[in-house]
Structure 1
Amino acid sequence: MDAKKTDTARLRLVQRLDVTGRVLLLPRMTPFGTRFLAASFRAFGVPAVVMETYKGLSLGKEYTSGKECFPCQVTLGDILYFLQGEKERLGSRFDPRRYVYFLPESDGPCRFGMYNKLQRLVLDTFPEYRDIAITYLSTQDAYSVAGLLPAHKARYFRRVAYVAAVIADVFDRIVWRVRPYERTAGMTDAFMEEAAWDMEALLERVGEARDFQALLDRVEEVARRAAGFVDPGIARKPRIGIVGEIYLRTHPESNQDIVRQIERHGGEVVDASIAEWINFVSHERLRKMKRQAALAFRRKDGRSLKEAVRAAGLQKVEIAYQAWRLKQVYDRVLRHLDIQPDHSIREIEKFLDGGRHFSFEIGTEAALSIGGALAHVHEGFHGIVNVFPFTCMPSTICSAILKPILAQKRVPYLDAPYDGTVQPNREVALRTFVYQARQYRDRQQNGNREV
């Protein structure tokens, strides 16, 4: 077999495969979200493990050229570091066939869609890792889990995993709402870490039975207790909205813990949610089904039209289900703590002003970042930060569009690109940005008079 055919055959190891009973390796992205996703997998019989992150960055950089965007280097480093540790721990008992590496992908122009293919080729340079399969979820079919689990489990797993993602978003927002105002330094993080372990255990215990009531009750209890940590004597701080590339904005190690940095300088942060992205992907699939139906109608292709209409109907049901579950979770928390509600996709699209600023038809995260940032401004936020990998195309588009719009509105805006290096002026830039946000807030409170 020639080299080209060999490479093609190896890339087939990036596939949907039943992961039941095999150790599923998840790269960590969010403080809570990846942990809750792993717990959801374990509830359905998959021994999922969240790998340590950022400790293998030097390995990730060694086996990449630097032309890849930063999350590719981070996740590659994570899997190589983990496997290196497993080899040392197990010795001759190390069996690559018992592991499956989980690395989702997206369609469209983003390089993210090629991460798992590139990392397949890198793993193949190590003879001992060649039999480690890579599996994925894709935006192309709205993160369908068909093939990863037996058919009778896949549908229900997806529902549990979505609710777990919303709960993780809510846990993040509880932290961001409470920590800047906590009575004793460190109490919020300590409590929420304990709550996260409890939630993981609960997801494992009730996930397959889909006992959503138990999950909702636990979330409400966490919110009720966390609300008691807020010191009412601390005045409300300027609110900062973070948008940008989904991995960088949610991975504290990669963004050099920008949320805590902003908090340290006197701001209160709300980062864009994971559920917002999942909901966007679901809406994008509905748009795709509608386009296919319109094309089939023009071509007078009755069979294709029927299939597209049926698929669009099912997707509408999925979107309605997600909206219902999201509202359930947030309503429970809002009884006790005024966290920032999540944006609906319809609301975000509204702030794109009928395509004048950008269009969902173009796709990419730029649509969410631009619409989400403008929604935050409408909600009274005092500054916007765009967090992204250096050279990221969608975020560069976002910057080009948001900068002039927000400058006209006199809303402070900051681009925060990352590539693993430490920029000596980043601290000054953040401190200055939060100071500007405080000035903007004070002008707003004083009727736009200079202060």
Structure 2
Amino acid sequence: SDNTTKKMYYKGLRTVAADNLCLPAKVANGHIFDLINKKVDRIFYPSIVFEEKVGEDAKNTYNCPIVTGYGEILKRNIKSDIPIDSFAMSFNYMPGVKHNAYEYLKEYGITKSQVGGAIKFGMEVEYKSIELRKNLAKDIIKKAKAEDKPLIILLGRPYHLDPMINTGIMDLIYDLGAYAISEDSIPDIDKMNLEGVLPLTQWSYHNRLYLAAKWIINQDYNKVAALQLNSFGCGPDAVVVDEVKTIVESGGKVYISIKIDEMSNLGAAKIRIRSLLEALNQNKSFNIKPRIYTKEFTKSDKKKTILVPYFAKMYSELLEPVFYHLGYNFVTLYHQSNEAVDEGLKYVNNDMCYPAIVVIGDLIKALKSGKYNPDETVVALSQTNGQCRASNYVPLLKKALIDAGFFNTPVISLSSDSFKQGFTFNPAKFLKYTVILFTIADGIICMKLKTKPFEINKGETITLVNKLLEQLYSDAYYKPPTKKYLQKFMKYAVAEFNKIPVKNKPVKKKIGIVGEIYLKSNCFSNNYLVEWLEERGYEVVLPSYTKYFEYGFYSRVYSAKERITEPDKTKLTTGAINHLTIEHYRKLVEKELKNFNRYKKEVLISEALQHKNEPLPQYLQFGEGWLLPLEISEMVKDGVRDVISLQPFGCISNHIVAKGTYRQLKNKYNTNLLLLDYDSGTSEVNTTNRLELFLSNN
């Protein structure tokens, strides 16, 4: 395609799936139209899941979800007879690259040896190009020092090399009499490590920015500074920008950032850059801001109170007895409020997704309340290890605690990395207790959803749910749950639900709810949406909570099978054990649920995948990934044509898996689909109006 222009950008704008996507993604639509106008035969737009490793101790090598999934979204939102070819590959696993490239190219008569030779040649050319850039950068660094001129390290992504996207920043710096190099040209950066970096070092391009920041503070030249470019709507930058700034300023160096979108011009940037250069030329001294870290969790902290933010009714309550039997005192912060959101906004980057602001705000509010001694308290937060920003909730919590003055309060992550922090327990017991209680909770929620809209005596269903939860909570504290207990309790619960008098007439509609796991499950964050719908006579259909835990297992199996990642036998085995455990106890719950008067079996992931009709490929595994549109398709097959998808405003995963598939799902399944964004400033009136309009559609 041609060089990027504003005209090209505007040409593709009408097919952009979300207004708050970053500028580079929007520009990609224009490039596709440029290629269509050239009447090419095919368009090649691969999905790159993993990059090469950057930083010898990096935790992972992901790309941003938008980078990985955008090819799939382009072909779903741009109508053309020219096919857009998008298959997955990862540069951290070259055997997979060769295999998948060959699978794509073999229909054109290209052999395996040709593919292998081409890849080898391409990599050699790339490495020579990198070496050339680094040698040029060495010369520029020497010149800057020799001439006593400012040296600006331009921090950004590969797309910031595009003159239209960077608005000519590099030329401007040189015009103002300074030297500049981009962070990918820094010599010897590949020999550095990421020690001391607070966020999870899982995105390759972001790891390069952290290393560049560390390189800057190691320079004894006082006229070197960092200038970071970031795009409006860039999800990962809500994590990265603050960390790069902290690293640079911890070494007494200067940092500025410039946000770029389609409306940007050089006027404001010119003023800021000129001020930066003037300060550097005057040899001003800049304050060193030493880094502070939170206290590490050790065995001596085991008996402390562990505060956990509230997640969802039934499930949050039942985690307390699980950890009680594992030797920990978990205290859940049940009462969520707008005050907690205000605290979150003070200490979390406001571009971060809404769930992070809520849960971190809850914990900060609790520590400020005076009810808990920060020095005798531990805070805990669940954390994924996937591609989306939820993987960085724990580092964001640590930063918030430091900024709020609670750096003596240890943080533990309720994730697979917890054992590395000294937070240890028997994993087999944890798995068994949690799955038993959560599958029981799934069963109770299932019966509640199928009873409340039909109840004759208003409030009877909720009274029963609360009674069952209280008993389950009490029993689980008294004695660890067992298979026998599950069977006995479910028999009792089914019998109790069957006693509730119900109307025989059908409900107005069945409304399906899918979306980001926290927002979908947390009543406070979604403004009590399920209750709002039920009070108006609608039956709500929700996927079971334990289904989400299985999603990771199926994703890992797919990635290994399709050679997107190198198979990890340990993780595959652990995932299989978790999956089989969930399956075992779910079948026991299902057996008892068959006696429930309004029983309807939920379609399992394994069954849905056998339908061979998934709207998105399984390599899109960020957030709710391929599972979200698959759940919508299964709901529609089951007669639920009205579906609401909930997502945090600016959620980069949902730009792909929800907004990106919106047109496809509506057209293919004739679905009445509503996408609801939530954040701290969400207007309840606006949300209600959108819901009323959605429900009025036939």
TM-score by shorter chain over 0.5: yes
Residue 25 of structure 1 aligns to a residue whose secondary structure is strand
Aligned equivalent of 1:117: 395
Residue 428 of structure 1 aligns to a residue whose secondary structure is helix
Shift of 1:193: 0.9
- Kindly indicate whether the alpha-carbon contact (under 8 Å) linking 1:293 and 1:309 is maintained by their aligned counterparts in 2: no
Q: Which has the higher contact order (CA 8 A, sep 6+)?
A: 1
Amino acid at match of 1:360: Q
Aligned equivalent of 2:661: 401
Residue 253 of structure 1 aligns to a residue whose secondary structure is coil
Aligned equivalent of 2:639: 380
- Kindly indicate whether the alpha-carbon contact (under 8 Å) linking 1:24 and 1:46 is maintained by their aligned counterparts in 2: yes
TM-score (norm 1): 0.82
Shift in CA distance, 313/121, structure 1 to aligned 2, threshold 3 Å:
closer
Aligned positions of 1:328-347 closer than 5 A: 328-347=588-607
Aligned equivalent of 1:424: 685
Shift in CA distance, 236/279, structure 1 to aligned 2, threshold 3 Å:
same
- Kindly indicate whether the alpha-carbon contact (under 8 Å) linking 1:148 and 1:154 is maintained by their aligned counterparts in 2: no
Aligned positions of 1:234-253 closer than 5 A: 234-253=505-524
Which residue, 522, 527, 530 being the options, matches 1:259? Answer: 530
Shift of 1:53: 4.0
Aligned equivalent of 1:33: 315
Aligned equivalent of 1:68: 352
Amino acid at match of 1:363: Q
Does 1:136 find its partner at 2:413?
Answer: yes
Residue 124 of structure 1 aligns to a residue whose secondary structure is helix
Amino acid at match of 2:630: G
Aligned equivalent of 2:478: 205
Shift of 1:312: 3.3
Q: Which runs of 5+ in 1 are unaligned?
A: 297-307, 440-451
Aligned positions of 1:91-106 closer than 5 A: 95-106=373-384
Larger Rg: 2
Residue 103 of structure 1 aligns to a residue whose secondary structure is strand
Once residues 60 and 400 of structure 1 are traced to their aligned partners in structure 2, the CA distance between those partners, rounded to angstroms, is 29
Which residue, 632, 656, 672 being the options, matches 1:412? Answer: 672
Shift in CA distance, 275/8, structure 1 to aligned 2, threshold 3 Å:
farther
Shift of 1:432: 3.1
Shift of 1:200: 0.7
Once residues 316 and 551 of structure 2 are traced to their aligned partners in structure 1, the CA distance between those partners, rounded to angstroms, is 19
Q: Which runs of 5+ in 2 are unaligned?
A: 1-195, 197-216, 218-245, 251-288
Aligned equivalent of 1:300: none
Aligned equivalent of 2:58: none
Shift in CA distance, 132/269, structure 1 to aligned 2, threshold 3 Å:
same
- Kindly indicate whether the alpha-carbon contact (under 8 Å) linking 1:250 and 1:271 is maintained by their aligned counterparts in 2: no
Shift in CA distance, 18/425, structure 1 to aligned 2, threshold 3 Å:
same
Once residues 606 and 348 of structure 2 are traced to their aligned partners in structure 1, the CA distance between those partners, rounded to angstroms, is 39
- Kindly indicate whether the alpha-carbon contact (under 8 Å) linking 1:262 and 1:268 is maintained by their aligned counterparts in 2: yes
Shift of 1:332: 1.4
Which residue, 293, 302, 309 being the options, matches 1:10? Answer: 293
Once residues 382 and 565 of structure 2 are traced to their aligned partners in structure 1, the CA distance between those partners, rounded to angstroms, is 30
Amino acid at match of 1:34: S
Residue 514 of structure 2 aligns to a residue whose secondary structure is strand
Aligned equivalent of 2:336: 54
Amino acid at match of 1:424: V
Residue 616 of structure 2 aligns to a residue whose secondary structure is coil
Once residues 294 and 363 of structure 1 are traced to their aligned partners in structure 2, the CA distance between those partners, rounded to angstroms, is 12
Aligned equivalent of 2:173: none
Aligned equivalent of 1:447: none
- Kindly indicate whether the alpha-carbon contact (under 8 Å) linking 1:279 and 1:319 is maintained by their aligned counterparts in 2: yes
- Kindly indicate whether the alpha-carbon contact (under 8 Å) linking 2:507 and 2:538 is maintained by their aligned counterparts in 1: no
Once residues 250 and 263 of structure 1 are traced to their aligned partners in structure 2, the CA distance between those partners, rounded to angstroms, is 15
Shift of 1:253: 0.8
Does 1:363 find its partner at 2:363?
Answer: no
- Kindly indicate whether the alpha-carbon contact (under 8 Å) linking 1:70 and 1:419 is maintained by their aligned counterparts in 2: yes
Once residues 508 and 301 of structure 2 are traced to their aligned partners in structure 1, the CA distance between those partners, rounded to angstroms, is 46
Shift of 1:195: 1.2
When the two chains are superposed, the root-mean-square deviation of aligned CA atoms in Å is: 3.0
316-325 vs 251-260, greater mean Cα deviation: 316-325
Shift of 1:22: 2.5
Once residues 692 and 308 of structure 2 are traced to their aligned partners in structure 1, the CA distance between those partners, rounded to angstroms, is 35
Aligned equivalent of 1:172: 445
Superimposed CA distance per residue, residues 273-329 of structure 1 (whole angstroms, 9 cap, x where no aligned partner) = 321111112333444566789858xxxxxxxxxxx4465345433322221111212
Which residue, 388, 391, 395 being the options, matches 2:650? Answer: 391
74-83 vs 210-219, greater mean Cα deviation: 210-219
Shift in CA distance, 159/287, structure 1 to aligned 2, threshold 3 Å:
farther
- Kindly indicate whether the alpha-carbon contact (under 8 Å) linking 1:44 and 1:157 is maintained by their aligned counterparts in 2: yes
Shift in CA distance, 23/291, structure 1 to aligned 2, threshold 3 Å:
farther
- Kindly indicate whether the alpha-carbon contact (under 8 Å) linking 2:308 and 2:379 is maintained by their aligned counterparts in 1: yes
Superimposed CA distance per residue, residues 136-164 of structure 1 (whole angstroms, 9 cap, x where no aligned partner) = 133xx5x887867655x232112211222
Residue 683 of structure 2 aligns to a residue whose secondary structure is coil
Aligned positions of 1:293-304 closer than 5 A: 295=566
Shift of 1:16: 9.0
Amino acid at match of 1:102: A
Once residues 353 and 293 of structure 1 are traced to their aligned partners in structure 2, the CA distance between those partners, rounded to angstroms, is 21
TM-score (norm 2): 0.54
Shift of 1:165: 1.9
- Kindly indicate whether the alpha-carbon contact (under 8 Å) linking 1:242 and 1:270 is maintained by their aligned counterparts in 2: yes
Residue 677 of structure 2 aligns to a residue whose secondary structure is strand
Does 1:79 find its partner at 2:357?
Answer: no
Shift of 1:71: 0.5
Once residues 235 and 392 of structure 1 are traced to their aligned partners in structure 2, the CA distance between those partners, rounded to angstroms, is 36
282-291 vs 96-105, greater mean Cα deviation: 282-291
- Kindly indicate whether the alpha-carbon contact (under 8 Å) linking 1:26 and 1:102 is maintained by their aligned counterparts in 2: yes
Once residues 583 and 529 of structure 2 are traced to their aligned partners in structure 1, the CA distance between those partners, rounded to angstroms, is 29
Once residues 402 and 261 of structure 1 are traced to their aligned partners in structure 2, the CA distance between those partners, rounded to angstroms, is 24
- Kindly indicate whether the alpha-carbon contact (under 8 Å) linking 1:276 and 1:345 is maintained by their aligned counterparts in 2: yes
Once residues 283 and 82 of structure 1 are traced to their aligned partners in structure 2, the CA distance between those partners, rounded to angstroms, is 37
Superimposed CA distance per residue, residues 359-385 of structure 1 (whole angstroms, 9 cap, x where no aligned partner) = 221212131110011011111213111
Residue 194 of structure 1 aligns to a residue whose secondary structure is helix
Shift in CA distance, 19/290, structure 1 to aligned 2, threshold 3 Å:
farther
Once residues 320 and 299 of structure 2 are traced to their aligned partners in structure 1, the CA distance between those partners, rounded to angstroms, is 17
| Fraction of identical pairs, as percent | 18
Aligned positions of 1:216-231 closer than 5 A: 216-231=487-502
Amino acid at match of 2:411: I
Once residues 150 and 425 of structure 1 are traced to their aligned partners in structure 2, the CA distance between those partners, rounded to angstroms, is 46
Superimposed CA distance per residue, residues 168-226 of structure 1 (whole angstroms, 9 cap, x where no aligned partner) = 2222222211111112111111221121111011111221xx42211331133122212
- Kindly indicate whether the alpha-carbon contact (under 8 Å) linking 1:370 and 1:402 is maintained by their aligned counterparts in 2: no
Shift in CA distance, 370/17, structure 1 to aligned 2, threshold 3 Å:
farther
Once residues 268 and 131 of structure 1 are traced to their aligned partners in structure 2, the CA distance between those partners, rounded to angstroms, is 47
Query: Going by fraction, where is helix more abundant, 1 or 2?
Result: 1
